[in-house]
Structure 1
Amino acid sequence: MKNVTELFGSMVFNDHVMRERLPKSTYKALKNCINQGISLDLSIANIVANAMKDWAIEKGATHFTHWFQPMTGITAEKHDSFISPTSDGSIIMEFSGKELIKGEPDASSFPSGGLRATFEARGYTAWDPTSFAFIKDNTLCIPTAFCSYGGEALDKKTPLLRSMSALNKEAIRILKLFGHEDVEKVLTTVGPEQEYFLVDKDLFAKRKDLIFCGRTLFGAKPPKGQELDDHYFGTIKPKVAAFMEELDEELWKLGILAKTEHNEVAPGQHELAPIFTTSNISTDHNQLTMEIMQKVAKRHGLVCLLHEKPFAGVNGSGKHNNWSLSTDTGINLLEPGKSPEENAQFLLFLAAVVKAVDEYQDLLRLSVASAGNDHRLGANEAPPAIVSMFLGEELTAILESIEKDSSYDKKAAAYMEIGVDVLPRFKKDTTDRNRTSPFAFTGNKFEFRMLGSALSISGPNVILNTIVAEALSCFADQLESCDNFQATIQSIIKSTLQEHKRIIFNGNNYADAWVKEAEHRGLLNLKSTPDALPYFIAPKNIELFTKHKIFTESEIYSRYEILLEGYSKVLHIESLTMIEMVKKDIIPAVVSYVDHLTQAALHKRALLSTTCSCDLEEGLINELSSLSGCLYKKLNALDECLISSTFANEQEKANYYKDSVFPAMQELRAVADEIETLVGRTYWPYPTYGDLLFSL
């Protein structure tokens, strides 16, 4: 590997490169555009585009693309070369400001949820100058927003930028009241921890379910799983370490702050965590990280699985969204300081988050909803589908003292007592961490732990930014019109806690008792995606999004339709894959093995005597015959489920897949997995869980 400081950002047209290559006036105009939202003149864009093109060609690029994030959840790009013909039959390399600012991909072939008819093809990509351009696969990639001909957002970037703007506006109102006249911008920052599985590429290629669905639809548990906790933080195997080394190198080239890597709980599972950056750039970087993980894995004879639950019986993969608020002057607004009980500004922002999470728990839940994540939430490996907050003993005690108008008894900092004199002494944190909480305070940020591993972090952060903006807006309205600023702050914090303390829970979210307690508190328990998504179009949520100009009403309904349709399509594809695997692979394997047992029994009796014991063969034949008969019935039942009648709407269809198709899939799988434990290894058509999880 090259010198890391030289390698880092070497394929990014970042601020350092712009300062070197752009005229001072152009650089200043571009920075004003980025920092203050000032529109960029086309003449300035032409200069930037030319410098960007020259830099990219020096790096080996031959094409450019507007890199955007449609509602598919992955990225999209259409490549154009820099070549332009000349009159003498040769070419020159050109790239204009117009090409930099605007692109025109076909909008009709992307999910629109009814916003666009199939024949309405025109759509636009618009340059996002707040996220640096970069080179990937010899192509200059320009991060862009994506909208329809009518201006409706068809992507995940546009609403995120809108939500960041809304939160900035309301947070600035609050900070001005605290005397922060120097603060011009408040940014939301995110550091998404990314979990993933690695499996052998050749074994992957032998499993249709992994190829088509990204997860195993069949698979009996191996004798050993994660019971011994020996994989977590264990020594990284050489093949995986080589993958991680190249992954770091590729990510660092793109300016992605890959920091921490380790083995996760399940065998074959790993994690990568970056240093936080702004929500917009962090979202772009996470999309790139997932793409590059998969590319690098293949170069090492591996496949990277990003599905939330690739294997039943072991932990699935999530994505922890570490979210905070920072000013352009370097203040972390969620930093408690040494005396949080005296830090009114921190307590007010904390109260805003408490209010937001309680009032809009439905939106936070649906922001992480997907067919894949439904397998993971509430499975004692991830938070349940119930949204709650962990604040820890110290903050909870401070808030309770405010609520009750009592004095707070601050505890003196304690030192760790390990019992070994040679080890250095260090102070304990005032509060433990809670790995079971969906939304946990972890020192100076909140960790939203419900996200699935394949999810774009844009959606959850749009929700977080918007609901906190709404809470801050309510607080600012009260404070701007009050007579006694300090007394009003005290009153706001106190009343917020009294009204919303039900959302605070510091205990074990995995416990069954919490489900009952949460119901008693009136918290929602939306166990599946079809249960959660209708809240998107609840009147209070439509009012929230339209008030802060995050979505228009039509954009809200379009996303609701897209998410429902996606859920049904995933289950439909999985069902068809199961049916094909059973018909073409599992049934022939069982028939062949039963025939083998039958021939073995006949040969034994022919060779020895009619009294020779064939209990083994006959027992297995009887058991497999019974199970194969059951398998055939469950197969037909699933097949029958898919021959469904028409549905009135996408919600009805999604409910049907949840209530009818998915249970039929589970019943078919249960029989097939039992058969797998009885069929001889040479006859079973797929690599087993043991092969997949322990082959590296």
Structure 2
Amino acid sequence: MSNLGQIFGANVFNAAIMKERLPKGTYKALKKTIEEGLHLDPAVADVVASAMKDWALEQGATHFTHWFQPMTGITAEKHDSFISPTADGKVIMEFSGKELIKGEPDASSFPSGGLRATFEARGYTAWDCTSPAFIKDGSLCIPTAFCSYTGEALDKKTPLLRSMEALSKQALRVLKALGNTTTNKVITTVGPEQEYFIVDKNTFAQRKDLIFTGRTLFGAKPPKGQELEDHYFGSLKERISSYMKELDEELWKLGISAKTKHNEVAPAQHELAPIFTTTNIATDHNQLTMDTMKKVALRHDLVCLLHEKPFAGINGSGKHNNWSMGTDDGLNLLEPGHTPHDNEQFLVFLCSVIKAVDVYADLLRVSAANPGNDHRLGANEAPPAIISIFLGEQLQDILEQIENGGATSSKTGGQMEIGVTTLPALPKDATDRNRTSPFAFTGNKFEFRMVPSSASIAEPNYILNTIVAEVLNEVADRLESAKDIKAEVKTILSEYVTKHKNVVFNGNGYADEWVAEADKRGLPNIKTTVESIKALIAEKNLAVMEKHGVLSRVEMESRYEILLENYIKTINIEALTMIEMAKREILPAVIKFATNLAGSINTIKATGVAADVTAQTELLTEVSSLTAALKKNIAVLEEAVAKADNAHGDTYAQAALFRFDVFEKMSPLREVADTLETLVDKEVWPFPTYGDLLFNV
């Protein structure tokens, strides 16, 4: 590997490169735009574009593209070369400020939820100068927002940028009311831990379900799964280690601070975690990380699976969204300090988050909803679908003190003696961690553990930013009109703790008892993606997103339609793939096996030898019975798909049909097929088994 200090950010037009290549006045003007949110001077854009082009050409780039994040959940790019013909039949390299600032992709070809008709094609991409440009695959990639001709957001970045401004505005008001006069901007930061599976490319290519849906629709449980717990943090296989090394290097070139890598709990499952950065950049980086994971895997004859549940019976993958708030002068607003009980600023922001999560739990739930995540949430491998907050013993004790009149002390961790004289005494944290909590406080940040592994982190973060901004707005209003700030702070804290303590739960989120307890507390338990999507058109949620200028009602309603349509299409593809595999692969294979078995029985009998063929006969009877059941369940699923597919009109009703009829009828078909897999000769079975997929890397 090359020197890390030299390769890190080598493909990024970052602050250091800009400072080196831009005139001092241009650099200062651009920096002021980025840091203070001021409008960009077109003259500045022209100078930046010229310097950006020269740098990109030196790096070997031939094209530029506006890189954006439409509602597909992945990124999009249209590439244009730098060349411009001249009168003498040659070309020159040109790139203007106008081309940097604005692009025009086809707005009607991306999901719009009814915002754009098929014939209304014009849409715009706008340069997001807060996220640095980079080079990928020989093109200069310019991070951009994507909006319609009429100005509505058609992407995930635009509401994220809006939410960051909204939270900063309200947080600054609170800080100023509390006496902070030095902070000019509040920044949300994120460090998303990315889980993923790696399988052999040749094995993958033999599974239509993995190719078309990203998950296995059939597969009997292998003799060994994750029960020995020997894969978690285990020694990396040589092939995986080689892949991870190249992945790290490619990410480092893009300025992505890939920090941690390790084996996860399930066989063939792994994790990568970056260092925290600003939420907008973290979102861009996570999209790049997922894309790079898949591309690098192919170079090693591997395939990276980002689906939340590619294999039944073992843990699926999530994405832990570690979120915090900081200031431009270096303060972490969620840092408790050594004596959190008298850290007024920390307690105000902590209790504001608690209220926001409690009041808008349904919005947070939908931000972590997709068809794949329905397989994980509440399945003793991921947090339950019930939104709750883990605070730990120290903060729980402080909240109880606040409720009873005021906090006067904080529990401390002390020292941990391990019992071996040569080992050092370890400082003990004041509280344990809780991996079963969907929204856990982990020292100086909140870890939102429900986010799907394949999803963009933009939506969870713009929703989180917005709902916290709403509560901070309320706090600021009260503090700004208060005669006695200290007294009002005490009143707010007591009120928020008393009214919203029900959302705080430090126990085992996997336990059945918690489901009953959460119901008593009045916490919503929204089990499916389809049901959760309703939150997008609930009046209180429409109002809060519109109030802070993050998403208008029209934009929220379009997302409601987009998510429902995505669910319908996803389950439809899964069901059709399942039907095709069952009819054209499994059914012929088991008939062939049964025919061979019957022929074997007849051959033995024809010898006249009094051989016992009871075993063969019983196996033939069982396989024949299951084959009939397989055929029947194929027909049942086909009928359900046809019914749901023809249920046009109300999108929610159609999505509900796919979830509660089609999806439910997929399970019996799989159960029969998986049983047949355990009986049929492996040489006859039409595709690789779980054992082949999970342990053949």
**TM-score interval, normalised by the smaller of the two chains:** over 0.9
**1:322 CA displacement:** 0.1
Separation (CA, whole Å) in 2 of partners of 1:535 and 1:247 = 38
Contact 1:537 1:556 in 2 (8 A): yes
Separation (CA, whole Å) in 2 of partners of 1:392 and 1:412 = 12
1:614 aligns with 2:588: no
**1:646 CA displacement:** 2.6
Which residue pairs with 1:315 in the alignment?
315
Separation (CA, whole Å) in 1 of partners of 2:651 and 2:453 = 25
CA deviation map 1:412-458 (0-9, x unaligned) = 54211211110011210000000000000000000000011001000
What SS does the corresponding residue of 1:197 show, helix, strand or coil?
strand
Structure 1: tracts of 5 or more residues without a match: none
Letter in 1 for 2:638: D
Structure 2: tracts of 5 or more residues without a match: none
Separation (CA, whole Å) in 1 of partners of 2:344 and 2:668 = 56
Which residue pairs with 1:23 in the alignment?
23
What SS does the corresponding residue of 1:196 show, helix, strand or coil?
strand
Separation (CA, whole Å) in 1 of partners of 2:383 and 2:41 = 48
Q: Cα gap change, 1:400/1:56 in structure 2, threshold over 3 Å: closer, same or farther? A: same
**1:606 CA displacement:** 2.1
Residues 394-433 of structure 1 mapped to structure 2, 5 A cutoff: 394-405=394-405, 408-433=408-433
- Give runs of ≥4 in structure 1 deviating > 6 Å: none
Which residue pairs with 1:630 in the alignment?
629
Q: Cα gap change, 1:159/1:500 in structure 2, threshold over 3 Å: closer, same or farther? A: same
What SS does the corresponding residue of 1:451 show, helix, strand or coil?
coil
1:215 aligns with 2:215: yes
Which residue pairs with 2:598 in the alignment?
598
Which residue pairs with 1:684 in the alignment?
685
**1:134 CA displacement:** 0.0
Letter in 2 for 1:405: G
* TM-score scaled by length of structure 1: 0.99
**1:179 CA displacement:** 2.1
Deviating more after overlay: 122-131 vs 43-52: 43-52
Which residue pairs with 1:305 in the alignment?
305
CA deviation map 1:281-340 (0-9, x unaligned) = 000000000000000000001000000000000000000000000000000000000100
Which residue pairs with 1:86 in the alignment?
86
Which residue pairs with 1:376 in the alignment?
376
Letter in 1 for 2:632: K
Q: Cα gap change, 1:544/1:407 in structure 2, threshold over 3 Å: closer, same or farther? A: closer
Separation (CA, whole Å) in 2 of partners of 1:93 and 1:121 = 29
Separation (CA, whole Å) in 1 of partners of 2:491 and 2:409 = 21
What SS does the corresponding residue of 2:324 show, helix, strand or coil?
strand
Which residue pairs with 2:649 in the alignment?
648
Separation (CA, whole Å) in 2 of partners of 1:412 and 1:297 = 45
Residues 657-668 of structure 1 mapped to structure 2, 5 A cutoff: 657-668=658-669
Separation (CA, whole Å) in 2 of partners of 1:321 and 1:40 = 31
Letter in 2 for 1:202: N
**1:598 CA displacement:** 1.1
**1:602 CA displacement:** 1.6
Which residue pairs with 1:577 in the alignment?
577
Letter in 2 for 1:585: E
Letter in 2 for 1:212: F
Which residue pairs with 1:484 in the alignment?
484
Contact 2:308 2:372 in 1 (8 A): yes
**1:43 CA displacement:** 1.7
Contact 2:571 2:663 in 1 (8 A): yes
Which residue pairs with 1:188 in the alignment?
188
Separation (CA, whole Å) in 2 of partners of 1:597 and 1:421 = 67
What SS does the corresponding residue of 1:325 show, helix, strand or coil?
strand
Separation (CA, whole Å) in 2 of partners of 1:241 and 1:410 = 44
Which residue pairs with 2:43 in the alignment?
43
Contact 2:351 2:496 in 1 (8 A): yes
Which residue pairs with 1:161 in the alignment?
161
Separation (CA, whole Å) in 2 of partners of 1:429 and 1:686 = 49
What SS does the corresponding residue of 1:256 show, helix, strand or coil?
coil
CA deviation map 1:58-89 (0-9, x unaligned) = 00000000000000000000000000000000
Contact 2:178 2:485 in 1 (8 A): no
Letter in 2 for 1:335: E
What SS does the corresponding residue of 2:56 show, helix, strand or coil?
helix
Which residue pairs with 1:468 in the alignment?
468
Separation (CA, whole Å) in 1 of partners of 2:533 and 2:87 = 58
What SS does the corresponding residue of 2:333 show, helix, strand or coil?
coil
**1:650 CA displacement:** 0.9
Which residue pairs with 2:229 in the alignment?
229
Which residue pairs with 1:124 in the alignment?
124
**1:177 CA displacement:** 1.5
Deviating more after overlay: 400-409 vs 99-108: 400-409
Letter in 2 for 1:117: A
**1:410 CA displacement:** 3.7
Contact 2:342 2:408 in 1 (8 A): no
CA deviation map 1:471-502 (0-9, x unaligned) = 10011111000011101101100000000000
Separation (CA, whole Å) in 2 of partners of 1:155 and 1:572 = 24
Letter in 1 for 2:691: G
What SS does the corresponding residue of 2:6 show, helix, strand or coil?
helix
What SS does the corresponding residue of 2:323 show, helix, strand or coil?
strand
Deviating more after overlay: 640-649 vs 514-523: 640-649
Letter in 2 for 1:666: S
State the Cα RMSD in Å. Answer: 0.8
1:694 aligns with 2:674: no
Which residue pairs with 1:445 in the alignment?
445
Separation (CA, whole Å) in 1 of partners of 2:545 and 2:411 = 42
Separation (CA, whole Å) in 2 of partners of 1:376 and 1:311 = 11
**1:130 CA displacement:** 0.1
Separation (CA, whole Å) in 2 of partners of 1:425 and 1:643 = 66
CA deviation map 1:533-560 (0-9, x unaligned) = 1111011111101100111110000000
What SS does the corresponding residue of 1:218 show, helix, strand or coil?
coil
1:390 aligns with 2:351: no
Contact 1:352 1:471 in 2 (8 A): yes
Contact 1:397 1:408 in 2 (8 A): no
**1:178 CA displacement:** 2.1
What SS does the corresponding residue of 1:292 show, helix, strand or coil?
helix
* TM-score scaled by length of structure 2: 0.99
Which residue pairs with 1:567 in the alignment?
567
Letter in 1 for 2:266: A
Separation (CA, whole Å) in 2 of partners of 1:428 and 1:285 = 33
Deviating more after overlay: 413-422 vs 567-576: 413-422
Identity, % of aligned positions? 63
Q: Cα gap change, 1:136/1:603 in structure 2, threshold over 3 Å: closer, same or farther? A: same
Letter in 2 for 1:538: A
Contact 2:412 2:429 in 1 (8 A): no
**1:409 CA displacement:** 4.7
Which residue pairs with 2:676 in the alignment?
675
Separation (CA, whole Å) in 1 of partners of 2:406 and 2:576 = 62
Separation (CA, whole Å) in 2 of partners of 1:447 and 1:39 = 34
Separation (CA, whole Å) in 2 of partners of 1:176 and 1:467 = 20
What SS does the corresponding residue of 1:384 show, helix, strand or coil?
coil
Letter in 1 for 2:485: F
What SS does the corresponding residue of 2:107 show, helix, strand or coil?
coil
Letter in 1 for 2:657: Y
Separation (CA, whole Å) in 2 of partners of 1:426 and 1:77 = 50
Q: Cα gap change, 1:65/1:412 in structure 2, threshold over 3 Å: closer, same or farther? A: closer
Residues 55-204 of structure 1 mapped to structure 2, 5 A cutoff: 55-204=55-204
Separation (CA, whole Å) in 1 of partners of 2:408 and 2:552 = 45
CA deviation map 1:608-640 (0-9, x unaligned) = 52x321112111110000001011110000000
Number of equivalenced pairs: 695
1:326 aligns with 2:305: no
Letter in 2 for 1:692: L
Separation (CA, whole Å) in 2 of partners of 1:641 and 1:421 = 67
Separation (CA, whole Å) in 1 of partners of 2:29 and 2:280 = 21
**1:647 CA displacement:** 3.2
Separation (CA, whole Å) in 1 of partners of 2:152 and 2:540 = 21
What SS does the corresponding residue of 2:348 show, helix, strand or coil?
helix
Letter in 1 for 2:467: I
Residues 262-281 of structure 1 mapped to structure 2, 5 A cutoff: 262-281=262-281
What SS does the corresponding residue of 1:311 show, helix, strand or coil?
coil
Contact 2:195 2:317 in 1 (8 A): yes
